[in-house]
Amino acid sequence: MAAHHQKLYIGGEWVAPASNKRIEIVGAATEEVIGSTPEGVEADVDRAVAAARKAFDGGWAAATPAERGAALLRFAEAIEKRGAAIAEAVSMQNGMPIVMSEQLESGYTVGLLRYYAALAEQLQVEERRPSPLGSTTVVRREPIGVVGAIVPWNFPVILAMMKIAPALVAGCTMVLKPSPGTVLDSFLVAEAAHEAGLPAGVLSWVPGGRELGAYLVSHPGIDKVAFTGSTAAGRLIAQECGRLLRPVSLELGGKSAAIVLEDADLNAFMQAIPSASMLNNGQTCFSCTRILAPQSRYAEVVEAIAATVSSFPVGDPLDRGTVVGPMASSAHRERVEGYIARGKEEAKLVTGGGRPARERGWFVQPTVFAEVSNSALIAREEIFGPVLSIIPYRDEADAVSIANATEYGLGGTVWSKNGEHALDVARRIVTGTIGVNGYLPDLNAPFGGVKASGLGREMGPEAIGGYQQYKSVYLLG
Ligand code: NAD
């Protein structure tokens, strides 16, 4: 049933938007309008930032971490109650297979909030440190202030929560700008925040496009920007934050490599392709879309991947058997198809390459290219669709050098029956995260990228530090 919202959640209440502009959401599989919401404008951002400042100064920053942790637990419970609706909203909007949105957008989100609630219990924000001169210094970790958070459409809930949870534990307040492609889920999360009794203004949502995002980034009331999205937008945001000397964290694009070593268990790798290389129809930042295969096993690897990928059920994201759903938007499908056309010129198509026979929905066939050079465009640029490139390598040194010959550094995997040896190869890859015989981000470990994949880390205890700043108080008498 279509959801049509009339109000925005700003400053702890549902308020009339400042303009009558609307965002219409079209379903990725149905191509029909599945909902609409108000589109935020600058006046809405002003109101949300003012409310966030008031909440920050009015007690949230001064509350104990344990008090903030208790609020996170209530928030987790309220999200859990809405888990099924949140998963469905995400899948209908961006085409994510429902089993995945239940696990990641609902389940993982609740787990993340509970994890940070537990960390809040133990959080030390003040330390007395002896100075070499004999005096004492109090080193404090204070919340940075009001955060402007901007998230993309591919994992709209968990990516927002990866910012919300550590920021709230640190004592910050936040204004979120969801992507116009996936707004409906944010209304459910806002409802949960309200039910959990988060103090007014601690979290507000103002949906809108890139201009509104740019307005939020440079708003004088914002103390830190937390961004997830494309590298191109990240560069513009970093530029603006540089000008303003405003702290910024950036989770950007990727072109990660799966290194299949000579002794890899190919069956294990095939089973992991849906999660490690084609998660969310390939619309995942850390996907290993460059498969590096040894020349000695190249034909075998190509054959196994082609057989596996061509067997994936492509279809309705709400169908529990679907492995690959549609692209999130018509424009995005065109972009992916542009890369597929380019791939046909620069490599050998081994499966897919077209559209599945379906009447509706922005589907593309899961596609595999072999004989790909690492310098080909399809091996260099992030496609963000179900498109894999298999690149041959001579020996391990060559594999490491190809894996590292990219602008990006976000994910990666190494496949081998010898786990210690694979770990040794993983150590040589220039990246923020990498998996051995699988890829599964760990709540308890920092996640993020190097090079053009970003700045700063989310998840793990480290993420809290991204929302704190140090203050040293010298006790001299
Ligand atoms: P996008 O950069 O176009 O948009 C992301 C968000 O930023 C949207 O809310 C958009 O409205 C806003 N935005 C765009 N330009 C802006 C600007 N100049 N100033 C302020 N806000 C702006 O990205 P997208 O197409 O929505 O998402 C896909 C991209 O996100 C991919 O490149 C993907 O790799 C990346 N991503 C990265 C991670 C990560 O953790 N590293 C996770 C998910 C997605």
pLDDT digits (tens, 9 = 90+) for 17-40: 999 999 999 999 999 999 999 999
Decide if 214 contacts 190 (C-beta within 8 A). no
Give the residue, by CA position, lying nearest to ligand 1 atom 22. Answer: 210
Dihedral angle, C-alpha 221, 452, 236, 181, nearest 10 °: -80
Give the residue, by CA position, lying nearest to ligand 1 atom 14. Answer: 210
* pLDDT band of 75, cuts 50, 70, 90: very high
pTM of the model: 0.98
* pLDDT band of 2, cuts 50, 70, 90: confident
Work out the percent of the chain whose per-residue pLDDT is above 90: 100
- Could you tell me the end-to-end alpha-carbon distance of the chain, in angstroms, rounded to an integer? 67
119-136 pLDDT, tens digit each:
999 999 999 999 999 999
**Torsion region of 437: left, alpha or beta (phi above 0 gives left; psi -120 to 50 gives alpha):** left
Three state DSSP letters for 95-116 = CCCHHHHHHHHHHHHHHHHHHH
What residue spans define the domains of the chain?
3-252+452-475, 257-442
Superfamily of domain 257-442: Aldehyde Dehydrogenase; Chain A, domain 2 (3.40.309.10)
- pLDDT confidence of residue 306: 98
pLDDT mean over 74-99: 98
Identify the architecture of domain 3-252+452-475 in CATH: 3-Layer(aba) Sandwich (3.40)
| Cβ of 402 below 6 Å from ligand 1 | no
Q: Cα separation of 426 and 179, whole Å? A: 34
Confirm whether 3-252+452-475 and 257-442 share one CATH topology.
Answer: no
Task: At 459, list the tokens.
Answer: 């998840």
Q: Cα separation of 188 and 99, whole Å? A: 19
Å from CA of 212 to ligand 1 middle = 13
pLDDT mean over 435-458: 98
Å from CA of 336 to ligand 1 middle = 16
Q: Cα separation of 367 and 216, whole Å? A: 38
Average pLDDT, the chain: 98
Q: What is the DSSP letter of 279?
A: G
pLDDT mean over 210-230: 98
Contacts for 200 with CB less than 8 Å, ≥ 6 apart:
11, 12, 13, 51, 54, 55
317-350 pLDDT, tens digit each:
999 999 999 999 999 999 999 999 999 999 999 9
Q: Cα separation of 426 and 412, whole Å? A: 8
- pLDDT confidence of residue 375: 98
Å from CA of 444 to ligand 1 middle = 24
Task: At 331, list the tokens.
Answer: 């424009």
Contacts for 359 with CB less than 8 Å, ≥ 6 apart:
none
235-272 pLDDT, tens digit each:
999 999 999 999 999 999 999 999 999 999 999 999 99
Instruction: Report whether pLDDT(5) > 90.
Output: yes
Residue with tokens 């534990």: 169
Instruction: Report whether pLDDT(1) > 70.
Output: no
